[in-house]
């Protein structure tokens, strides 16, 4: 466990809250301590109110903020005196508690305070840190975990048996902490949950956390439960995309909506998924903080129906005991362990899938270390149910915003690094899709740095490269729902008498043959799209209205147009719809340089602006205009349209 405190860095953070931000970020940097919004930190500050009265305010991490990137605005200021009064109540429902916390904030625009706010308030220290350290969880989640924790920490930490997060936990700690704390106490361990540290300065609280976690790591190392056996290379060159798309199709069907699925086909995941005792040890999440990300238990193998039946039985067994009526969540897994695939993580978005994968990667470490220590023991199913169906989580679901139109779906765009293709990527991302971008330009890899985009350099005329790109894309997102075929070239004007065979074949290879390769390669994946596949081909005004000097281009686009029409006929039985866009005079693309525009405008005796609007509507057509329509053709408005050819050209008198 590395201490990341740096005096030079710390000097850049001013005041008590600034240093609270700094050490919170230090904790967030270490994924063995907190993951994706987990953990919590706070500081108590004396301030003067608008009325001139001094009051103590607890600044606690607000809901939705991630410690790694938190700012001062990410902390919720709550009046400490009221929190201490609440802690003395005999009972308080969690919805009532949340209401009390919000009404006692000193800044209305602050995020909602953490549900552990009262717990932070009752600890008599200025700074409080809370993490879900892997090493501590590996010890607490064993059959004799409490005895081991007491052996490790002695009087350095107060030990609190597991209680679900919320008011009941805070109330229990309000009683147990004063009774168990002594002059050497620097922390508190919540069984099956995490570890707290505290101090009178940000540095002291942070360094105490590091020290407490180091003690757990040393304990595991001393008992040969820290270093895990080396993972064996079980990866093969076998294509996985069809298996992955089939699995995603089945799980999305059980969920009732599409899910993105990320495949972790690496040595670590495969070794864990192939353990002979997997069904015994993969019992449940390492901490209640992980339940929402990974659900009750992972699915082992690919029998989605059996998993869904087990989940419904789990719900029916525990729902009658719940204090409030519950609405069953979807019975689909968020983590799959399979000896051939490794570990697959799912989510409504690519970010959710990535977080589920990160969480379970750490859960594997916790499980294997606990197993070496004497046996992993997850929370009982009833306790997991209480977290998964927590009143506060149910309220979030009821209030949750409607998901984007393409949430959980995957699109592939060719020619994605610039022009219309780049605009298509942006339009699809804006609608919630995960996007695979292909382009000959290596810059495609850096087009977007986000979880829901993967850029793959690919020569679409090379079938082997297309195959490899599809394999990588499906491993990243689980399947394919939408295909936008945009890549193409527009060669310089050459009349038929001067057109070489080499130039003709090059245009055909890129504009026509490559699209056949992609459509043929993607058909099996599109058939498995949870909401049926969609294909949009970018054609050209030259299909209905060719011009002199563009024989190769016009013929290639006409060929693509016919390919799309036949595909619409053949693929309709699979529910796949295929439509074509015919843009014209889209000038914000790479082929239209300023010099070319000026030359063409001069040829017609026009200014550049007049030339750009040389259509019936006297309007300029941009890459974004084409991309927005392409995205809409993949959406519900075109759900009953296939085989269509739609112009997006401002109106061409030659076409009309």
Average pLDDT over residues 611-628: 95
Percent of the chain with pLDDT over 70: 99
| 397 — pLDDT class (breaks 50, 70, 90) | low
Q: Quick check: 314 pLDDT over 90? A: yes
Name the phi and psi angles at 134, rounded to 5.
Answer: -55, -45
pTM of the model: 0.93
DSSP state letter for 509: I
Contact 440, 459 (CB under 8 A): yes
First-to-final CA distance of the chain: 71
* Beta bridge partners of residue 494, listed in sequence order: 550
Q: Quick check: 395 pLDDT over 90? A: no
Q: Please name the residues in contact with 564: beta carbons below 8 A apart, sequence gap of 6 or more.
A: 535, 537, 539, 578, 579, 580, 643
Average pLDDT over residues 387-404: 78
Position 158 scores a pLDDT of: 97
Contact 288, 295 (CB under 8 A): no
Q: Quick check: 355 pLDDT over 90? A: yes
Position 358 scores a pLDDT of: 95
pLDDT tens-digit profile of 526-564?
999 999 999 999 999 999 999 898 999 999 999 999 999
Other CB atoms within a 10 A radius of the CB of residue 170 amount to 25
Helices of type H across 105-182 = 117-122, 134-140, 145-153, 167-180
pLDDT tens-digit profile of 426-473?
999 999 999 999 999 999 999 999 999 999 999 999 999 999 999 999
Q: What's the CA gap between 485 and 39, in Å, rounded? A: 44
Position 398 scores a pLDDT of: 67
pLDDT tens-digit profile of 228-253?
988 887 787 899 999 999 999 999 99
Average pLDDT over residues 571-590: 94
Structure tokens at 477: 């997102």
User: What structural domains and CATH numbers belong to the chain?
Assistant: 7-222 (3.40.225.10), 241-399 (no CATH), 410-586+622-648 (3.40.50.720), 587-620 (no CATH)
3-state SS of 433-456 is CEEEEEECCHHHHHCCCCCCEEEE
């Amino acid at each position: 466990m590395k201490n990341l405190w740096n005096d030079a860095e710390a000097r850049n953070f001013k005041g008590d809250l600034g240093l609270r931000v700094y050490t919170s970020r230090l904790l967030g940097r270490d994924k063995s301590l907190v993951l994706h919004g987990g953990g919590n930190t706070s500081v108590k500050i004396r301030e003067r109110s608008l009325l001139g009265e001094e009051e103590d305010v607890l600044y606690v991490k607000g809901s939705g903020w991630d410690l790694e990137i938190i700012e001062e605005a990410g902390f919720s200021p709550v009046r400490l005196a009221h929190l201490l009064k609440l802690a003395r109540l005999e009972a308080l429902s969690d919805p009532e508690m949340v209401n009390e916390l919000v009404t006692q904030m000193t800044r209305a625009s602050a995020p909602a305070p953490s549900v552990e706010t009262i717990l932070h308030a009752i600890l008599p220290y200025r700074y409080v840190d809370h993490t879900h350290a892997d090493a501590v969880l590996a010890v607490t989640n064993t059959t004799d975990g409490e005895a081991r924790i007491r052996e490790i920490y002695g009087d350095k930490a107060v030990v609190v048996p597991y209680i679900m997060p919320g008011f009941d936990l805070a109330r229990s700690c309000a009683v147990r902490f004063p009774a168990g704390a002594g002059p050497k106490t620097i922390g508190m361990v919540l069984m099956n949950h995490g570890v707290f540290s505290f101090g009178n300065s940000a540095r002291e609280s942070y360094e105490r956390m590091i020290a407490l976690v180091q003690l757990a790591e040393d304990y595991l190392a001393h008992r040969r439960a820290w270093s895990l056996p080396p993972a064996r290379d079980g990866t093969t060159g076998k294509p996985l995309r069809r298996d992955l798309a089939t699995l995603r199709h089945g799980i999305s069907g059980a969920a009732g909506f599409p899910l993105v699925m990320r495949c972790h086909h690496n040595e670590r995941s495969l070794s864990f998924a192939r353990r002979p005792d997997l069904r015994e040890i993969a019992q449940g999440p390492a901490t209640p903080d992980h339940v929402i990300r990974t659900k009750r238990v992972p699915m082992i193998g690919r029998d989605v129906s059996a998993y869904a039946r087990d989940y419904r039985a789990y719900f029916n067994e525990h729902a009658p005991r719940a204090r409030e009526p519950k609405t069953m969540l979807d019975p689909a897994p968020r983590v799959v362990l399979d000896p051939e695939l490794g570990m697959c993580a799912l989510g409504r978005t690519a970010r959710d899938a990535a977080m589920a994968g990160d969480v379970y990667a750490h859960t594997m470490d916790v499980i294997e270390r606990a197993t070496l220590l004497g046996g992993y023991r997850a929370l009982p199913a009833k306790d997991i149910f209480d977290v998964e169906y927590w009143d506060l989580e149910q309220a979030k679901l009821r209030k949750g915003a409607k998901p984007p139109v393409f949430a959980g779906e995957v699109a592939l765009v060719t020619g994605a690094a610039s022009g219309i293709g780049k605009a298509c990527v942006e339009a699809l991302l804006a609608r919630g899709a995960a996007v695979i971008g292909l382009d000959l330009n290596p810059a495609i890899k850096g087009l977007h740095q986000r979880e829901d985009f993967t850029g793959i350099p690919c020569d679409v005329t090379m079938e082997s490269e297309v195959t490899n790109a599809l394999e990588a894309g499906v491993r990243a997102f689980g399947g394919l729902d939408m295909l936008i075929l945009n890549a193409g070239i527009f060669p310089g004007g050459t009349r038929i008498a001067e057109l070489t065979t080499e130039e003709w074949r090059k245009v055909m290879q890129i504009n026509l043959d490559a699209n056949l390769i992609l459509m043929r390669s993607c058909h099996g994946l599109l058939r498995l799209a949870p909401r049926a596949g969609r294909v949009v081909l970018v054609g050209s005004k030259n299909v209905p209205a060719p011009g002199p000097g563009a024989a190769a281009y016009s013929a290639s686009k006409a060929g693509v147009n016919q390919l799309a029409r036949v595909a619409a006929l053949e693929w309709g039985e699979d529910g796949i719809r295929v439509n074509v866009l015919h843009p014209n005079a889209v000038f914000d693309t790479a082929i239209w340089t300023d010099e070319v525009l000026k030359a063409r405008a001069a040829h017609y005796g026009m200014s550049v602006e007049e030339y750009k609007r040389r259509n019936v509507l006297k309007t300029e057509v941009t890459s974004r205009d084409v991309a927005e329509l392409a995205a809409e053709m993949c959406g519900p408005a075109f759900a009953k349209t296939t085989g269509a050819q739609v112009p997006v050209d401002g109106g061409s008198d030659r076409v009309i």
